[in-house]
Amino acid sequence: MINYHSHSMQNPPESSQTQLPEWVLKNFPKITDIWIHTPNWFHQAVRFGMVGVLNTGVDLGSYWILTRFIPYFENAHVLAKAISYTLGVLNSYLWNRSFTFRSQVRSPKQFAIFFLINLIAVGINSGLMALSLHVFELPEWVGLLIATAITMTWNFTTSKFIVFREPSNKV
């Protein structure tokens, strides 16, 4: 490991090398050291989790706005939820493309694949919840935990290796 006690202020890594803000590099040398020694997939997983929290906010926030401020949706909660979920998926695509995986590809095909994978994820999530509750008779919170963990793994893996995969270096 890099010894930041002796040269952290003299010669810290550059922000562009670590993808960390300058203030983190200067004030948290141990975190910087750990971060620069972790694999890229770990960095992507952390960013993916951050984007997931944002997506949840978009989904819940837009659902709340639709059902509370637009009279049409006062009694159309399922339609409002479909719209809010779709907005969350759109938000997810934009942030995961540019922030999590830093993909340079911009194509309708890429978005269509992302959307299809997320539709499959809804099925996986719902199916696992149904199995947990009705077949294995697990407590609701355990079913939620299992369904969420497996669906997040599905979404991250398919996003990384299918939707936003890095182009292969052909010689």
152 shares a domain with 80: yes
The answer on 46 and 23 residing in a single domain is: no
Confidence check: pLDDT of 119 > 80? yes
Residue 28 shares a structural domain with residue 81 = no
Q: In the prediction, which pLDDT does 9 show?
A: 40
Residue 140: pLDDT above 50? yes
Residues 69 and 128 occupy one common structural domain: yes
Token pair belonging to 14: 């550059």
Q: How many separate domains does the chain show?
A: 2
Contact yes or no for 129/144 (Cβ under 8 A): yes
Q: In this structure, is residue 171 part of a structural domain?
A: no
Measured at the CA of 52, the angle between CA 156 and CA 148, to 5 degrees, comes to: 65
Domain enclosing residue 157, as ranges:
40-163
How far are the Cα atoms of 64, 154, 161 from residue 58, in angstroms, in the given order? 10, 21, 25
24 and 50 share one domain: no
Mean pLDDT calculated for residue range 146-167 = 94
Same-domain check for residues 66 and 23: no
19, 100: one domain = no
- Number of H helices and E strands in the chain, helices first, is 8, 0
- Within this chain, do residues 11 and 94 fall inside the same structural domain, yes or no? no
Model confidence pLDDT, tens digit, residues 74-115: 999 989 999 999 999 999 999 999 999 999 999 999 999 999
Each residue's pLDDT tens digit, 1-45: 333 333 344 455 554 555 677 888 888 888 888 888 899 999 999
Question: Could you tell me if 87 and 19 lie in one domain?
Answer: no
169 assigned to some structural domain: no
Residues 85, 57, single domain; the answer is yes
Which residue did the predictor score with more confidence, 142 or 7? Answer: 142
Q: How far is residue 117's CA from residue 109's CA, in Å, rounded to a whole number?
A: 12
Does residue 152 form part of some domain? yes
Question: Do 25 and 57 fall into the same domain?
Answer: no
pLDDT of residue 126 exceeding 80: yes
| Burial (0-12, 13-18, 19+ Cβ within 10 Å), 1 | exposed
Report whether pLDDT(169) > 60. no
Identify whether 168 is part of a domain.
no
What is the pLDDT at residue 28?
Answer: 87
Residue 170 lies in a domain: no
Indicate if 53 and 109 belong to the same structural domain. Answer: yes
Backbone phi, psi, residue 139, to 5°: -60, 150
